[in-house]
Amino acid sequence: MSMDFRRVKEYFSWLYYQYQIITCCAVLEPWEQSMFNTVVLTIVAMVVYTAYVFVPIHIRLAWEFFSKICGYHNTISN
């Protein structure tokens, strides 16, 4: 069990290292890294929130649009 935990920890450490290398964050000073990471985290949070709020609405509207085009009509009456 401890071996699996160590492997997972090493994998996340490797992923963080890759993130630092790809974004050139490794060459920044610590305060610059924290500012950069804050901006990236804020952008990711906004994208996730926007997707959570607006994607279902657009999927529903697209479904209604294409169901009208394809001739699918709801036969349930009130």
- Show Cβ contacts of residue 25 under 8 Å, excluding neighbours closer than 6 positions: 19, 33, 36, 37
How far apart are alpha carbons 68 and 61 in whole angstroms? 11
pLDDT by residue for the chain (78 residues), tens only, comes to: 667 888 999 999 999 999 999 999 889 999 999 999 999 999 999 999 999 999 999 999 999 888 888 877 655 544
For residue 1, the model assigns a pLDDT of 61
What gap in Å lies between CA 46 and CA 72, rounded to an integer? 36
Q: Which residues contact 73 (CB under 8 A, 6 or more apart)?
A: 67
DSSP H or E stretch at residue 11: helix 2-22
Number of folded domains in the chain?
A: 1
Structural domain span for residue 67: 2-77
